[in-house]
Structure 1
Amino acid sequence: ASAGEAFAHHYLGFRRVWKEMPNLDKVIKDPDNAPVPDDTKIDALYAVAVGLAAKVDKKTAEPILMHYAPRLPDEYHICLVEDVKARWVDKDGKPEIEKTKTWAQWTAKYGHLFAA
């Protein structure tokens, strides 16, 4: 019974976070107007950061990194960027994002967050 109870707790927690998250595809389509989870919803903020990081590619980097990520609290903004750098790598393990125009724009505008 305890395994079922543990699963139920995890599932209910997942559903709660899921309800607090914006639709990630809609975030990419309209990053300036898509909702951002409340600052007190740290689990939803983390889920959004990780979820969006998984969706970054050449087409989505600009709307995610330049428009939506800056609307997140700084620690989740950086979490998203660090996750992108770790996930989107070339065959040598180098971050693909660093080869894009978006990366140059992001570092010029928000690179100071890494030093904070």
Structure 2
Amino acid sequence: MRKLRILLLCLASLVATAVVASPAQAVETCGEAQVCFYVDKNFQGFRTRFWDDQNQLNRKLDFRANSESRTVSSIKNLTPYYFRVWNSKGQNRCIAPSFQSANLGRWEDDVKYIGFYTKC
């Protein structure tokens, strides 16, 4: 009985550690050569990544089918390319290489198209 109690205490402490570590994972850094989308302003909240070196440059890509298009509030562009986003009104915004946009303003939760460009 004592061994079972010790085992249960050990398991409980492992679970508590995992639960405590989870919020720290919610705010993650953006990796090199990636564009990262954050669901909250100022790069907070859940982060998703978007970068595939197979993406064609200077081409507008439809992003509406991705759930990120409806939840993105801030973006980091750590690619060597300009990253352009369009909203549902057709307005576009260009995010320069190594630039971070902590507040998308009217593009928040409304990124419909994206593209990687050699210039803006």
**Both proteins in one fold, TM over 0.5:** no
Decide which structure has greater helix share: 1
Computing the radius of gyration from Cα coordinates, the structure with the larger value is 2
Decide which structure has greater strand share: 2
**Which structure ranks higher in relative contact order (CA pairs < 8 Å, sequence separation ≥ 6)?**
2
> TM-score, normalized by length of structure 2?
0.29
